[in-house]
Amino acid sequence: MDRIYLDYTADTPADERVLSVYTETARACFANPNSAHSFGISAKNAVDDALMKIAELLHISPDELIFTSGASEANNLAVKGIAFANRRRGRHIISTFLEHSSVSGALTFLQEQGWEIDLVNIQPDGRIDLAHLQSLLRQDTVLCAVCAVDSELGTVQPVQEIAEILKNYPNCRLHLDATQAAGKIPLDLSGVHTASLAPHKFYGLKGCGVLYKAKGVVMEPLIHGGASTTIYRSGTPDAPAAAACAKALELALDEFDSRLERTAALHRSLRAALAENPRIRINSPESAVPHILNISVSGIKGEEMRRLLDARGIAVSVKSACSVPNTPSRAVMAITHDRKNALSSWRISLSHLTAEEEIAQFLSVLNEIIAETG
């Protein structure tokens, strides 16, 4: 039996068209884009072309983009960079229980350095409680960090409503972790000050991330020394990775409707089949994105289920790939308030590439495991 990959939230296979752009650019533009000679200028032009294309696709300006090594670095740069740069204005930050560890970990680091962190309550539908957010905001709040789509449950946050509330707090910057949103749901960056994404989540390559930083937002760089295409991230820019990222985003947006429709159809049939088993609890709210479906099987820990499925050739995830093992999912706890259920939770993630037969095979294996552990 072929193995079945149902972990597209952790990573996606690179599209052949993205790989072609990468290899072509790597051959043609091998020089350092920071070099002043003609080889360097060719490489710099490739980076600039990529920035221009990404900016056009996101409806922003190319000088508002910073390439990083991935979304974790982009999140760290935004969260710590904004906190450090505004330390004299205030040391209060608001975030949520749904954040990826690259945001929550950066916040814990800041907390240890004296910043005060408050987390907004999550409603049963997975959206943050806007009235609670309003009540937490203070004049010394310098940052509100929210994920557009969380990686465990797939809940979608009302970004524009959050931005609207923050308009009354001019010292407060809005950071959006758009890693699971980019290319998957429509992304409106108006009112957002910084936003992170990574092409390996939308059929691009790993080792590359993008941070959007709106004009006028002050941020301390994390890496010091060396001039580069941006003062916010020194080091040699990666022209092939930049070009590949632009291609991946272009494809994701060009094929947006067909990818979404296909994934949503798979999601609907999977959700309906899972709902028939009384031992299965579906944790992702109905309004979650179709590529993420978080469930729990009563009596089986999430990690045990992941292992049992893996032994039969099926790849799923428990929490996100980068979180602390053997602890209950913070995101599932936040919406179900049930620790046992959170410990049993795990994530199936789908793609437009997922075949119907793969879903059928997965369901049959899952039912077998549930019957054996009954």
Q: Which active-site residues does the annotation give?
A: 322
Nearest-approach distance from CB 71 to ligand PLP, in angstroms: 3
> Residue 180, interface with ligand PLP (CB under 6 A)?
yes
Largest CA distance in the chain: 69
In angstroms, the CA 11 to CA 204 distance is 9
> Residue 102, interface with ligand PLP (CB under 6 A)?
yes
Task: Give the x-and-dash track for 218-257 against ligand PLP (CB under 6 A).
Answer: ----------------------------------------
Nearest to 144 by CA among 97, 95, 187: 95
In angstroms, the CA 73 to CA 79 distance is 10
Nearest-approach distance from CB 54 to ligand PLP, in angstroms: 16
Nearest-approach distance from CB 342 to ligand PLP, in angstroms: 18
Contacting ligand PLP within 283-322 (CB under 6 A)? 320-321
In angstroms, the CA 19 to CA 52 distance is 20
Asked if 68 and 233 count as a contact pair (C-beta separation under 8 A), the reply is: yes
> Residue 179, interface with ligand PLP (CB under 6 A)?
yes
- Residue 153 contacts by C-beta under 8 Å, 6 or more apart in sequence? 98, 126, 283, 284, 285, 288, 292, 294, 331, 332, 335
Which CB atom, from 10 or from 280, has the smaller least distance to ligand PLP?
10
**What's the residue count for the chain?**
374
> Residue 213, interface with ligand PLP (CB under 6 A)?
no
> Residue 177, interface with ligand PLP (CB under 6 A)?
yes
Nearest-approach distance from CB 122 to ligand PLP, in angstroms: 15
> Residue 157, interface with ligand PLP (CB under 6 A)?
no
Nearest to 185 by CA among 272, 304, 289, 100: 289
Nearest-approach distance from CB 177 to ligand PLP, in angstroms: 5
Which CB atom, from 51 or from 77, has the smaller least distance to ligand PLP?
77
Integer CA distances (angstroms), 151 to 74, 281, 304, in order:
16, 18, 20
Interacting span for ligand PLP (CB under 6 A) from 174-182, 184-192, 233-241, 351-359 = 174-182
Asked if 210 and 58 count as a contact pair (C-beta separation under 8 A), the reply is: no
> Residue 145, interface with ligand PLP (CB under 6 A)?
no
Task: Name the token pair of 43.
Answer: 């490489």
Nearest to 182 by CA among 160, 203, 213, 162: 203
Which CB atom, from 44 or from 80, has the smaller least distance to ligand PLP?
80
> Residue 189, interface with ligand PLP (CB under 6 A)?
no
Nearest-approach distance from CB 193 to ligand PLP, in angstroms: 17
- Residue 213 contacts by C-beta under 8 Å, 6 or more apart in sequence? 64, 65, 66, 78, 193, 194, 219, 232
> Residue 330, interface with ligand PLP (CB under 6 A)?
no
Interacting span for ligand PLP (CB under 6 A) from 69-77, 79-87, 271-279, 357-365 = 69-77
Integer CA distances (angstroms), 155 to 73, 110, 150, 358, in order:
23, 26, 6, 24
Question: How many residues sit close enough to ligand PLP to count as binding (CB under 6 A)?
Answer: 16
Nearest-approach distance from CB 205 to ligand PLP, in angstroms: 11
> Residue 77, interface with ligand PLP (CB under 6 A)?
no
Interacting span for ligand PLP (CB under 6 A) from 65-73, 129-137, 272-280, 282-290 = 65-73
Integer CA distances (angstroms), 184 to 39, 277, 289, 355, in order:
36, 29, 8, 18
> Among 92, 100, 184, 247, which residue interacts with ligand PLP (rule: CB under 6 A)?
100
Which CB atom, from 100 or from 247, has the smaller least distance to ligand PLP?
100
Asked if 341 and 301 count as a contact pair (C-beta separation under 8 A), the reply is: no
- Residues near ligand PLP (CB under 6 A) are 10, 70-72, 75, 100, 102, 147, 151, 177, 179-180, 198, 209, 320-321
